[in-house]
Amino acid sequence: MSPPRTSPLTEKTDPDSPPRVRLFVMEGPDRGRSILFEGGTLVVGTLPSCQLVLTDDTVSRQHLSLELLGPRARVRDLGSRNGTRYLGARVEVVEVPLGAIVSLGRTQLALLPADVEPERFSERTELAGLLGRSLAMRRLFAEIERVAPVDVPVLIQGETGSGKEGIARALHALSGRTGALRAFDCGSVPPGLLPGMLFGHARGAFTGAVADTPGAVEAAHEGTLFLDEVAELPLELQPAFLRVLETGRFSRLGETRERQVRFRLVAATHRDLAAAMKKGTFRPDLYHRLASIVLRAPPLRERLDDIPLLAEHFARSLGASLPLSPASLATLSAYHWPGNVRELRNAVERTLTLGAEAALPELAPPGGAKEDFHATRERVLLAFERSYLEALLARHRGSASAAAREAGLARSYFYRLLKTHGLVPGRGKG
């Protein structure tokens, strides 16, 4: 069924709000320096006359300029000796969204919305096995560092493949707990077997129970229990699990005596637990216990700056002797990745064998033509932008106003993007 038709192209649009951006040095000799940019053109370099003056000796005297374009900024390299890079590619002129990170020499410069506090971002680009230099991941790193030592449950929400188990492992690694992390996937076990696998069973508890066997709860003693896909926990089993969280006591299947256990719970789901609670498939008391602290695993489309970093990491882990080509990185950086980090790893494996165009055939150049890096990057970025807009409109049943709000864009600018790509709100393609 097609989404309902709307006619927002004829309605009055809001004017673009006055642009205000905070430039924040994420990495480099001047790390921590920031400046508020409220319009016009700003020059970054080492000359005292620049609006943002850096001491990095790999930055040119006048390295780059910035010009605000509503919710985006035009970055122009001013003939610097070491170049300006965005998403791992050297650029001369590029338009970037707020939240982007631009590299110049050893310096990484973030373009933050003016009301975002830089203190909310970690300085790390790696945390206990997690990789990320994007603002989304650095914000997550800061949250992990803050909550890891706290002895309360954590709920991780995020799409399939977005790295929820990696976040759980980072929380455990930074918690200081002496026990191990035990991962248990509620969605991979038949409901009838869940009680025994979660709480353990005594010998003779059921046919085939030939020995006393501890469950995941007991195995996590003094450590962390990672309960993946917690929304799949059967309703009839939820009271027993809630009791373990509240008292630390449980019984193995087929036993009457109670056992004592201590662990930190980290639960994860790609489902909306609040909605499940309202439908009656998830207990409100268990939900509120799990959601003491909620962390969000950002989807890969919200952390484009991380794709070259992750792709190179996966390539090395798969035994690649040479780095991925610039054209391959450009193609990977432009795809929308519905399967997130897990899909990226699989695509890198195919890229190493077949090439990026075979790994992602929908982004191959028309007619099998050969392209240089800049042409490839421009084409795949346009393909990504169109795909992103179509997905937004579909998710909001054709409402451009709702889609623009989710994207963080002024409606008038959002409409111009739709017109550029021949998209009509309510229908998708024009």
429: in domain: no
Cross-strand bridge partners of residue 185: 228
Q: Using the predicted structure, report yes or no on whether residue 10 has a pLDDT greater than 50.
A: no
Same domain assignment for residues 133 and 108:
no
Determine the pLDDT at residue 430.
Answer: 43
Q: What is the mean pLDDT of the chain?
A: 82
Same domain assignment for residues 198 and 312:
no
What's the token pair of residue 124? 């790390």
Mean pLDDT to the nearest integer, 381-405: 75
118: in domain: no
Same domain assignment for residues 283 and 320:
no
Question: If pLDDT is split at 50, 70 and 90, which confidence band does 373 have?
Answer: low
Helix/strand/coil for 126: strand
Same domain assignment for residues 287 and 382:
no
Determine the pLDDT at residue 401.
Answer: 85
Question: If pLDDT is split at 50, 70 and 90, which confidence band does 3 have?
Answer: very low
426: in domain: no
Same domain assignment for residues 151 and 136:
yes
Same domain assignment for residues 341 and 245:
no
**What residue numbers bound the domain in which 308 lies?**
301-358
Query: For helices 411-420 and 373-395, what crossing angle results, to 10°?
Result: 120
Q: Using the predicted structure, report yes or no on whether residue 348 has a pLDDT greater than 80.
A: yes
Distance CA(245)–CA(239), nearest Å, equals: 10
Q: Using the predicted structure, report yes or no on whether residue 6 has a pLDDT greater than 50.
A: no
Residue with tokens 């979660």: 198
Chain segment 126-136, per-residue pLDDT in tens: 999 999 988 88
Q: Using the predicted structure, report yes or no on whether residue 109 has a pLDDT greater than 80.
A: yes
Same domain assignment for residues 292 and 307:
no
What's the token pair of residue 227? 């309960």
Mean pLDDT to the nearest integer, 191-212: 77
Cross-strand bridge partners of residue 171: none
Question: If pLDDT is split at 50, 70 and 90, which confidence band does 349 have?
Answer: confident
Q: Which of 279, 296, 313 finishes a domain?
A: 296
CB atoms within 10 A of CB 179: 17
Determine the pLDDT at residue 370.
Answer: 54
385: in domain: yes
For the chain, the domain total comes to: 4
Same domain assignment for residues 227 and 151:
yes
Chain segment 144-155, per-residue pLDDT in tens: 999 999 999 999
Residue with tokens 């087929």: 254
Give the up-direction half-sphere exposure of residue 118: CA atoms within 13 A in the CB hemisphere.
Answer: 18
Residue with tokens 């309202």: 278
Q: Write down the pTM of the prediction.
A: 0.71
End-to-end CA distance of the chain: 18
Same domain assignment for residues 109 and 169:
no
Mean pLDDT to the nearest integer, 95-117: 85
Same domain assignment for residues 305 and 290:
no
Residue with tokens 């033509």: 369
Q: Using the predicted structure, report yes or no on whether residue 190 has a pLDDT greater than 80.
A: yes
Chain segment 277-322, per-residue pLDDT in tens: 999 999 999 999 998 899 999 999 888 889 888 999 998 888 887 7
Cross-strand bridge partners of residue 268: 156
Determine the pLDDT at residue 318.
Answer: 87
